[in-house]
């Protein structure tokens, strides 16, 4: 796939992802040879401008989290190129990668699992300060921890406590403070609010929006449902079985979805106005296995408008149908 969806093709992007592929080998037999592969990410390309938030949505197993982790090289991509501020991430050596880690951070889904229960909040948030030698004295270190806690809506007396003493929302705030400690430019929010109650989700999303303004941050905001990313995202990418099937400015995607899969996802999003009715599109069957994804358009086994002899044979390219609106479908766009 050569298309590289960008919101502003004339400007140098902060992040460029080109044809990213990740296959996980499946080992088997006595000699533990590779017997098959999971095609987790299958040719993902997009560009991200500084200050932008790209929402990435899709059902579990669609490759969205793997994409986020490959961009940060927490998982090694099989092929493809990731460039951050003109510097190759995919070809970076150990030292370059360590420097890049300051600019590119991640907030994980499960604040219960991602914070070490034996470390104090101060040690958790300050780990990266120590690794990158960002503070010189204990006083400076403590002052920075207090500043970070206050930035995310917590207070100085929280620094000596342990993760189990906090609620889910507070733990996610600790995770955000940890990511902010190194003054990153890009943060991958990997299902960062999915484990939280709806009211707490809204608080954390509002906090992330405020922080984006305050620190000029850029986000990749990964979630499994379109309603979560609607307000925070400038653009939204919809993924299905390892591929981006549609990517567009948020408002355009929500009002004029082109891909049948986006339409189905959107039909499940509740509309606040009770007078407006939206017909629910129920997709038949489950998402096929990423070990043997269907040929042609990966979505053809569940698509209500699939055309035999075309959709099950030819892979649709991601094409631009209107400025900034890209879709991968033989019949739409």
DSSP character string of 139-161: HHHHHHHHHHHHHTT--GGGTTS
**Binding to ligand SF4 by residue 163, rule CB under 6 A?**
no
Select from 169, 316, 318, 326 the one that contacts ligand SF4 (CB under 6 A): 316
Name the residue nearer to ligand SF4 (CB basis): 168 or 333. 333
CB of 292 to ligand SF4, least distance (A): 17
Stretch that binds ligand SF4, among 107-115, 123-131, 214-222, 296-304 (CB under 6 A): 296-304
Determine the Cα–Cα distance for residues 238 and 221; give it in Å rounded to an integer.
Answer: 12
Tokens for 295? 């040929």
Residues from 256 through 275 that contact ligand SF4 (CB under 6 A):
259-260
Contact 330, 308 (CB under 8 A): no
Stretch that binds ligand SF4, among 61-69, 86-94, 117-125, 304-312 (CB under 6 A): 304-312
Which runs of consecutive H residues, i.e. helices, occur in the chain?
A: 64-71, 94-103, 111-114, 121-131, 138-151, 168-180, 198-215, 226-229, 250-255, 260-267
Name the residue nearer to ligand SF4 (CB basis): 178 or 259. 259
**Binding to ligand SF4 by residue 243, rule CB under 6 A?**
no
Determine the Cα–Cα distance for residues 243 and 221; give it in Å rounded to an integer.
Answer: 17
Stretch that binds ligand SF4, among 9-17, 107-115, 207-215, 299-307 (CB under 6 A): 299-307
Phi, psi of 103 (to 5 degrees): -85, -25
CB of 302 to ligand SF4, least distance (A): 8
Determine the Cα–Cα distance for residues 24 and 40; give it in Å rounded to an integer.
Answer: 7
Q: How many residues bind ligand SF4 (CB under 6 A)?
A: 15
Contact 215, 198 (CB under 8 A): no
Select from 143, 305, 313, 322 the one that contacts ligand SF4 (CB under 6 A): 305
With b for 16 or more beta-carbon neighbours within 10 A and e for fewer, the 24-38 pattern comes to beeeeeeeeeeeeeb
Name the residue nearer to ligand SF4 (CB basis): 46 or 299. 299
Stretch that binds ligand SF4, among 89-97, 144-152, 165-173, 300-308 (CB under 6 A): 300-308
DSSP letter at 278 equals -
DSSP character string of 29-79: TTTTEEEEEEEEEEEEEEEE-TT-EEEEE-STTSSHHHHHHHHTTSS--SE
Select from 228, 297, 318, 326 the one that contacts ligand SF4 (CB under 6 A): 297
CB of 244 to ligand SF4, least distance (A): 13
**Binding to ligand SF4 by residue 329, rule CB under 6 A?**
yes
Stretch that binds ligand SF4, among 87-95, 163-171, 282-290, 302-310 (CB under 6 A): 302-310
Tokens for 324? 């900034």
DSSP letter at 102 equals H
Stretch that binds ligand SF4, among 72-80, 116-124, 285-293, 301-309 (CB under 6 A): 301-309
Could you list the residues that contact ligand SF4 (CB under 6 A)? 259-260, 297, 299-300, 303, 305-307, 311, 316, 329-332
């Amino acid at each position: 796939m050569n298309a590289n969806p960008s919101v502003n093709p004339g400007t140098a992007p902060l992040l460029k992802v080109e044809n990213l592929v990740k296959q996980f080998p499946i080992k088997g037999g006595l000699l533990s040879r590779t017997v098959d592969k999971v095609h987790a990410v299958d040719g993902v390309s997009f560009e991200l401008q500084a200050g932008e938030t790209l929402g990435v949505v899709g059902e579990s197993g669609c490759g969205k989290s793997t994409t986020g982790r490959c961009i940060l090289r927490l998982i090694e991509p099989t092929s493809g190129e990731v460039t951050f501020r003109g510097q190759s991430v995919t070809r970076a050596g150990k030292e370059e990668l360590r420097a890049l880690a300051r600019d590119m951070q991640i907030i994980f889904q499960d604040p219960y699992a991602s914070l070490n229960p034996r470390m104090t909040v101060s040690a958790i948030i300050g780990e990266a300060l120590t690794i990158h030698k960002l503070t010189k004295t204990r006083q400076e270190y403590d002052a920075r921890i207090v500043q970070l806690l206050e930035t995310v809506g917590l207070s100085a007396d929280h620094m000596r406590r342990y993760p189990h003493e906090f609620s889910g929302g507070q733990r996610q705030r600790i995770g955000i403070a940890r990511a902010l400690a190194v003054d990153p430019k890009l943060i991958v929010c990997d299902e960062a609010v999915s484990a939280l109650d709806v009211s707490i989700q809204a608080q954390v999303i509002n906090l992330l929006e405020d922080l984006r303004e305050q620190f000029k941050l850029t986000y990749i905001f990964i979630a499994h449902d379109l309603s979560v990313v609607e307000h925070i995202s400038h653009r939204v990418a919809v993924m299905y079985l390892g591929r981006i099937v549609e990517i567009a400015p948020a408002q355009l995607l929500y009002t004029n979805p082109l891909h049948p899969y986006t339409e189905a996802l959107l039909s499940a999003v509740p509309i606040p106005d009770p007078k407006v009715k939206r017909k629910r599109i129920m997709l038949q069957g489950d998402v096929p296995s990423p070990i043997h994804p269907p040929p042609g358009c990966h979505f053809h086994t569940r698509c209500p408008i699939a055309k035999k002899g075309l959709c099950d044979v030819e892979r649709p390219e991601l094409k631009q149908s209107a400025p900034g609106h890209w879709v991968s479908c033989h019949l739409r766009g």
